[in-house]
């Protein structure tokens, strides 16, 4: 049996990258040192260079300064998500912290944090009021800062400073299906940012990068068809919306070259990313990319190349280079492939080839067709199957690399990843279906997933398991507690057990989102308790593995404690792993390996009997 370690990527990359202003170097975040740190690497290849050397802190975002001399980044400590803003010289050295309060959250602007001169740095922070994040502009020339107050009931997040250095662009978050766009004048600090998308149809208006001259910005909006995120341009002067691309799928990321002439965007087509581009207003050809997911796009100043983070079922997340307006294939800059998929010796075969999923749709109880990814192991015998549930709930299972899945497949265990109602990627009506209905229609879809698997002639019907993280952990706990006869094992990672206590424990600035997505802990308390896995803990029959980070600010450890205590008291077989130096997931590489090795062992022991 091939060990789980053979499937672990050589390094994990975080979902952020930035091209240097001269287009010669890319900065990204890797855990090659054991923790997520800042690294840089020439686009021509050559050795990567580590710039930060954190062991307890994890870098989350980064951006290059306009003159290439410095890099701004954020980092938190032991997974507590109290991210702080730093600057570091591009040649290395000691990072300098800019943010003021260590127990608050600060974020870099998503697209262009610096103004063209490099004097100003746009961020956000909730240091004034934990419930209302403000936009903060640091003046790097004298160490002062300017503040633009946030909007109560909305979580403001910064996007970019305009190319003329006059305006700030921000988004306002209500839930994953509710976004607004805001603009502020840099000359008037203290003034609230002005909403500029309120007149548009629909509720999703996610601002993107500025155009080349700062007269408007690109926006992903449901204003076009009411259900999908189309790409458009919004003029600041007259608020005119000009549609650029309106596929029957969601536009996911948008990037613009420094000269403003080239725009590149990605489209989620049934889970697979497709790139499109436009130069000087004319649609251009883009080299095809492998089937997978583009997580981030960054375009060079001259529009010649794009750096992307690319994840596929056959290769883990990598930094890849796309030569725009050419037919040249995508070129990988990093190599994160694990021993099971690659070998340092060209003549030596890999331990096993990765298995790509089939896109299927199965019927739920009311006849609704549920999209899902199905991985089938080799062999004609009957195989156990793991139902793997994504987080969110507004997320989507997509054809990307997962070492646990590949390990299970190599050992004869299949995997089904359902995108039940509540998942993103299939329109905003589908995505919002589970809001205030956790443990309702989604549980029906999970029950139908088990029924579908039992109908397949290659599936061992008595050996189905379920796993999930965050919302997926809640779903896994719901499955083993409310559908106890269907499962041979269950795994919950950072999973809520009690929706009422979860809603009451959320950070203050998430109050509106919690009420919209989960429910009001006061008005909906009875329903939240009725839908909580802990209410049904005495029904759990399957062996259960619960994994939790002690510093988790989203799903506190008390949630895991509740289900473990109640299930154990009722005689369930429960294994409980707590990581004292982690939060909502794993930033430390050793911890991630330890947790997933335990999961792999637990599943094999309970499914391959």
Domains annotated on the chain, with CATH? 255-350 (no CATH), 358-607 (3.40.50.1820)
pLDDT score of 350 more than 60 = no
The predicted structure's pLDDT at residue 346: 33
Q: Which of 308-312, 380-384, 512-516 has the lowest mean pLDDT?
A: 512-516
Report the alpha-carbon distance of residue 163 to residue 215 in Å, rounded.
Answer: 9
pLDDT score of 537 more than 50 = yes
Report the alpha-carbon distance of residue 470 to residue 140 in Å, rounded.
Answer: 38
pLDDT score of 596 more than 60 = yes
The predicted structure's pLDDT at residue 458: 97
Percent of the chain clearing pLDDT 90 (strictly above): 91
* Of 228, 176, 182, 239, nearest in space to 202 by CA: 228
Per-residue pLDDT, averaged over 528-534, amounts to: 98
Non-local CB neighbours of 420 within 8 Å, separated by 6+ positions: 364, 370, 389, 434, 441, 442, 445, 446, 449
Report the alpha-carbon distance of residue 323 to residue 300 in Å, rounded.
Answer: 10
For 268-304, write each residue's pLDDT tens digit.
999 999 999 999 999 988 999 999 999 999 999 999 9
Non-local CB neighbours of 591 within 8 Å, separated by 6+ positions: 579, 581, 582
**Pseudo-torsion of CA 408, 410, 413, 418, nearest 10°?**
60
Per-residue pLDDT, averaged over 78-104, amounts to: 96
pLDDT score of 354 more than 60 = no
Band (pLDDT 50/70/90 cuts) for residue 342 is: low
Mean pLDDT of the chain: 95
Residue 258 CA from chain centroid, whole number = 26
Beta strand 383-389 pairing with 414-418: parallel
The predicted structure's pLDDT at residue 177: 86
Task: Kindly list the distances between the CA atom of residue 246 and the CA atoms of 230, 252, 355, 566, in Å, as whole numbers in the listed order.
Answer: 5, 12, 33, 50
pLDDT score of 320 more than 70 = yes
The predicted structure's pLDDT at residue 557: 97
Q: Identify the residue whose tokens are 């002062």.
A: 144
E strand or H helix at 194: strand 194-195
Neighbours of 607 (CB within 10 A): 22
* Of 410, 591, 399, 426, nearest in space to 494 by CA: 591
Half-sphere exposure of 399 (CA within 13 A, CB side): 23
For 546-586, write each residue's pLDDT tens digit.
999 999 999 999 999 999 999 999 999 999 999 999 999 99
Which neighbouring-strand residues pair with 386?
Answer: 415, 465
For 19-58, write each residue's pLDDT tens digit.
999 999 999 999 999 999 999 999 998 899 999 999 999 9
Phi, psi of 557 (to 5 degrees): -55, -25
pLDDT score of 355 more than 90 = no
Band (pLDDT 50/70/90 cuts) for residue 232 is: very high
pLDDT score of 348 more than 70 = no
For 389-404, write each residue's pLDDT tens digit.
999 999 999 999 999 9
Report the alpha-carbon distance of residue 514 to residue 435 in Å, rounded.
Answer: 10
Band (pLDDT 50/70/90 cuts) for residue 116 is: very high
Cβ contact 390:466 at 8 Å? no
* Of 144, 174, 172, nearest in space to 159 by CA: 172
Cut 0.85: pTM above it: yes
Residue 471 CA from chain centroid, whole number = 13
Beta strand 120-125 pairing with 134-139: antiparallel
Long-range pairs for 235-240: beta carbons < 8 A, 24 or more residues apart: 236/167, 236/183, 236/196, 239/196, 239/199
Could you tell me the two tokens for 549?
């980070």
Q: Which of 238-247, 334-343, 500-509 has the lowest mean pLDDT?
A: 334-343
pLDDT score of 353 more than 70 = no
The predicted structure's pLDDT at residue 351: 41
């Amino acid at each position: 049996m091939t060990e789980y370690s053979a499937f672990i990527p050589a390094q994990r990359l975080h979902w952020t990258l930035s091209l240097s202003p001269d287009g010669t170097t890319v900065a990204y975040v890797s855990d090659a040192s054991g923790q997520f740190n800042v690294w840089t690497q020439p686009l021509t290849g050559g050795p990567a260079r580590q710039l930060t050397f954190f062991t307890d802190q994890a870098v989350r975002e980064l951006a290059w300064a306009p003159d290439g001399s410095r890099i701004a980044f954020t980092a938190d400590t032991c997974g507590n998500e109290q991210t702080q803003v730093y600057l570091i010289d591009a040649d290395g050295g000691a990072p300098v912290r800019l943010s003021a309060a260590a127990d608050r959250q600060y974020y870099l602007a998503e697209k262009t944090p610096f103004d063209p001169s490099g004097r100003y740095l746009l961020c956000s922070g909730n240091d004034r009021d934990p419930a209302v994040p403000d936009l903060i502009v640091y003046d790097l020339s004298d160490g002062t800062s300017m503040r633009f107050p946030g909007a109560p009931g909305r979580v403001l997040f910064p996007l970019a400073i305009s190319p003329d250095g006059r305006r700030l662009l921000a988004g306002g978050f209500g839930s994953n299906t509710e976004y607004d766009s805001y603009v502020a004048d840099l000359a008037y600090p203290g003034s609230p940012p002005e909403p500029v998308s309120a007149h548009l149809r629909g509720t999703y208006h996610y601002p993107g990068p500025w155009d080349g001259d700062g007269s408007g910005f690109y926006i992903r909006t449901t204003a076009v068809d009411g259900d999908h995120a189309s790409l458009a341009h919004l003029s600041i002067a007259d608020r005119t919306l000009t549609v650029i691309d309106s596929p029957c799928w969601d536009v996911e990321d948008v990037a613009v070259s420094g000269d403003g002439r080239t725009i590149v965007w990605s489209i989620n087509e049934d889970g697979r990313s497709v790139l499109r581009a436009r130069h000087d207003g004319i649609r251009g050809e883009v080299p095809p990319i492998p089937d997978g997911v583009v997580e981030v796009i960054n375009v060079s100043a001259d529009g010649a190349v794009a750096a992307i983070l690319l994840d596929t079922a056959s290769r883990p997340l990598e930094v890849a280079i796309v030569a725009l307006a050419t037919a040249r294939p995508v070129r990988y800059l990093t190599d994160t492939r694990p021993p099971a998929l690659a070998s340092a010796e060209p003549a030596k075969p890999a331990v096993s080839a990765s298995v790509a999923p089939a896109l299927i749709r199965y019927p739920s109880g009311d006849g609704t067709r549920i999209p899902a990814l199905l991985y089938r192991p080799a062999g004609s015998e009957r195989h156990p199957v793991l139902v793997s549930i994504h987080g969110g709930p507004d997320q989507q299972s997509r054809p990307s690399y997962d070492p646990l899945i590949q390990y299970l497949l190599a050992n004869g265990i299949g995997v089904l990843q359902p995108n039940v109602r509540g998942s993103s990627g299939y329109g905003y009506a589908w995505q919002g279906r589970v809001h205030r209905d956790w443990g309702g229609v989604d549980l029906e879809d999970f029950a139908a997933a088990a029924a579908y698997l039992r109908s397949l002639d290659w599936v061992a019907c008595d050996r189905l398991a379920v796993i999930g993280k965050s919302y997926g952990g809640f779903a896994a706990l719901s499955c083993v507690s409310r559908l106890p006869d269907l499962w041979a094992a269950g795994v919950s990672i950072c999973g809520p057990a009690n929706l009422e206590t979860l809603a009451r424990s959320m950070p203050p600035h998430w109050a509106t989102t919690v009420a919209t997505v989960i429910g009001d802990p006061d008005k909906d308390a009875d329903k939240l308790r009725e839908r909580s896995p802990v209410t049904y803990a005495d029904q759990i029959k399957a062996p259960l593995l619960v994994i939790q980070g002690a510093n988790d600010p989203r799903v506190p450890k008390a949630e895991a404690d509740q289900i473990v205590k109640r299930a154990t008291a009722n005689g369930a077989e429960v294994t409980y792993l707590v990581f004292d130096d982690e939060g909502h997931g794993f930033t430390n590489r050793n911890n991630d390996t330890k947790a997933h090795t335990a999961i792999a062992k637990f599943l094999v022991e309970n499914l391959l009997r």
